[in-house]
Amino acid sequence: MHRRVGSGLVVIWSLSCLFLTSVPRMSAAIGLDNDVAIDYGNCPQHPKYRCLSAKVVGAPRSVSNSSKVDITVEIAGGVPLTGSLEVAAYDDQLQEVCFSLETGCRASFPVAFRRTGRFPLAQIQIPNEATIIAVKGHLESSAAQPPILVTIIVGGDGEPVLADRIGDLTPFGANPHPGNRADIPVRSVEVMRALDRLERELAGKQVVELDEIGARMHVAAGWTHAFRDSDADLRPDEVSTSTLRLFLSGDDACGSYDVALLDQGVNRIADGQRSVPVILFGDIQECSGGGFRTLLTVNLKAVPVRMLSLDDLSLSEPHERDLTGNLADGKLNVIVSGHHAVDYSALDIALKEP
């Protein structure tokens, strides 16, 4: 059985297409990397000349205010090691939140070890607003050569997580001033090519950036979530959960004919294909709307995918698919098309414990 979808696929003016690095995000996963450096006695004490980075087991970690998080320092090599470790906490929008304004925004712990071993360092009380933590710090060793290996082990509740955000959300879905820098999303070459093709073949449609409803009935926006190179090459068996949350403005989008195209759909549009996999908003069960705001949550491990024909706009029946393999290249391309504006996009990948 097939059904037709309204003119939901629309065009994007080529002037709105930006290279992936053209405009910085409001916040992004690159800001949440674990970053613990070790300097040795024969190295200039400057971040540019860091001799070695300590290994932090796992990505930044998801937490809640009731989480118990433990930090352990493991040293292989019998040389003195001094310095300090910090724990940075972030809210769901990846903005840093403070542990204490009196003692400093981050939780700081001194490190002073003179022997090989495994040393419990701290158990941390998490700020109420925090959803993710990352470990940072600067350690020093007096060794003439770098013979030691330092591993920072972060354990307890929560999971290692990669998180990326595009857009702004202050407060939920309500930005009175569209056109901020955060409203101009970054776009990969694949998204640019797909949007260029939509422009050529579906003329007369309106393009918008994030936060804009537009003057016509149908609008579209496209962007790219991206991670650090070191976080690429993810295998599906490494992923515990993976969700894409879309915060939308307009009438309730739950049950609508709006569509989202992810990596394969974007690539097929870019390559000139006439049949495109799409996600129909009406097929997403995790959808909550109220007034002019909608939160749509797509579980990338179980996505109801339909095939859309660009010849007659017919839709196939949905088939559930695991799309976590799309994350293997370290990015996720997204195009949303329909009646609603996109305020904010949040990608969260929870990893299995290493």
pLDDT in tens, 19-67: 444 444 555 666 788 888 887 765 655 555 556 778 888 889 999 877 8
Q: 243 to each of 38, 164, 266, 296, 302, how far by Cα in Å?
A: 35, 11, 18, 10, 10
CA dist 91 and 125 (Å) reads: 15
Does residue 1 register a pLDDT over 50?
no
| Per-residue model confidence as pLDDT tens digits over 135-194 | 998 888 776 555 567 888 898 888 999 999 998 776 544 555 666 677 677 889 998 888
Please report, for the domain that includes residue 137, its CATH number.
2.60.40
Pairing of strands 132-141, 81-90: antiparallel
- Select from 103, 131, 158 the last residue of a domain: 158
Let me know if residue 22 belongs to a domain.
Answer: yes
pLDDT score at 225: 93
User: Cis bond leading into 120, ω under 30°?
Assistant: no
Shared-domain flag, residues 326 and 195:
yes
pTM for this structure?
0.84
Task: For residues 190 and 68, state if they share a domain.
Answer: no
Q: What is the pLDDT of residue 347?
A: 94
Rounded distance between C-alpha atoms, residue 139 and residue 344, angstroms: 37
SS3 assignment, position 255: coil
In a domain, 163, yes or no: no
Average pLDDT, the chain: 79
Calculate mean pLDDT across residues 321-339: 89
Same domain membership, residue 77 and residue 226: no
DSSP helix/strand/coil, 265: helix
Residue pair 38/141 in contact (Cβ under 8 Å)? The answer is yes
Amino acid (one-letter) located at 339: H
Going by C-alpha positions, the residue among 203, 198, 192 that lies closest to residue 272 is 198
> Looking at the 3D structure of the chain, how many domains does it have?
2
Instruction: Tell me the per-residue pLDDT of 247-269, one tens digit each, with 9 for 90 and over.
Output: 988 777 888 888 999 999 999 99
Specify if 199 maps to a domain.
yes
